[in-house]
Chain A
């Protein structure tokens, strides 16, 4: 038995030394992010930070966006010591906080006298019981993209910053035909019905989903009229929204602000070549024009990091004015918005030059896509499951909404 034990130990030691051979360099900050090589703002941020902090290298750990939650959670659960993790969903942050993976930031904020005012209050979505756990560096809200060339060809006026959903649907129908779709919906729940939270009253975790019917009906009306691609096909083909819009046969596309930088690049590298613009998303009767919903993206320090001070230096820079300018140059909307930052956003190379697009940069209200709560991830699982039933018309809108109400009531207890 002793012999066997000795063998085991020897084997383990052998394995350990083999892996320690890959030692880390000093002054390298590892940052876990998704699609690091293809996302322009990550590239810009890295360049700007390294330029202003000589001797420091940012090394991205690239994770495919679809696998981000699974992968990062496994990494953290396994005790990964990467210094900074990007926070994709607020629910991730909440779960990570509960598991103790995140370094609390209040002491750093006090020590460095960090000014939070530029966030205008949205940073509180990253706080639990008064303790800040991450800083937002990006705040995307949804806007309506449109293909100016298609509108010109049809001789129809461009969409405006003040449109109701009915006006939008009429517009979509008017533009459809001859291989042109008036609008395009990505398969996500958020792309179809999240507009419900724009009124500042409804949320997606309150357990009552009756109001969603309005948006599902609107969608089905457009699908039936052939004014948008059918959900079935978009889903089965795994069609990406950028491919759909860049193909040039889709007139409008409600999508998150992050798509601006994708479009700027697509035009630059010649993937597509039409004129485009953005306007505020349509609104329901009685909801203020310019209301939208959105999500935050931030960065947190891993509690297991060995370079916490450097990591703080990085995330505070990233979320602050300098980082925000770097982010804004690529057409991405930073969470920190000052006058200089807004100016940078509008003057980003490739950003549409019309006044409506510029005006759409400043929404009057931005609701949170799914607010953080103990049950957010379970609720969104249910909503997404039922969403796919309604969208494939496997059940009627009423049945679907009833199922949502029922199952979420179960979760909320």
Chain B
């Protein structure tokens, strides 16, 4: 006991002598050890490091995902073209045998090809769409008939993939291409008859059986129509519901049941909404199957709780004193909401709506149930036309084992992610721009 007292005195004296701050750890004698302090600091450090590590891991996952998608998808933005010496023989044009014209041009280039089998694989180098391109060219410029010119025509998907991979890396990944074809493409490349060009068809075509012709336009327009219907329905309904529940509804058991149900709706698996759409909209009301109208209605149900909850939160965060001030000036409850509360809550409301749109945009499962998983080659004109959406296009293409579709899938995912980033940036901008500082 005395010893302890002596030691404490010594420490105090030391402290006074050294004039060191008592708040700096280890500034005075190490004994007695401040084990509790050490423990506390260690716990602090541990927690911070754990957080850092988890962020790092999450970031790594994200990076590897994006890298994977980009690396397999970026090549889809370019398409291979082959220059062929086309001769528009008058009799062939008149007969409409454009396929023959293309085949003749290929045979011109490779005159040693003779057997039927070889010829067939030679013809497969060029896209099956090439004759149609020639046809439309002749329609535009009829004076080309009877002449011979060099034209760039789209290569078939397999050719394109082989050519791109050979360009990218000198490995021997050939894919679905045989030895002869590989040889021919190499010859074409050596004689400057091949080139890579920005893949316009990807952005201006609908779905197609030919990978080199398949595009995202139809599905993007379908997505747009679907979202339009969805927002036009869900925005007014959701905001009105939230305003009523937050500002007008009496607090009793009915409203609290409604509240609990809305919160639970947000957690219902999305495919259930699809089933609901199937049984009510399609079977009961007889709306057109696989149309963006029904898709929008189903997605509206899906994002309604999201909008209601976020709008309620936004309204709730407007201080009560503002409502009091407006009411004390003689504003009616409706005026209080529409002149003040809703206006001040608008940034939050908009953020919620935009995030709801983002969710609807990426939704696939409920749309499968109402038949939007369809082969749509032509862009829909109205909301009742059969349509598909971007994520469903991705889903459809992943079912296709052809290499050309693999890169298309990745590219479509990139476009989808791009839209998502855009939507989220919108939300951030709206929130920052219209934020109200109290």
Q: Do A and B come from one complex?
A: no
- Give me the interface of B with A, judged by CB distance under 8 Å: none
**Chain A contact residues, CB within 8 Å of chain B:** none
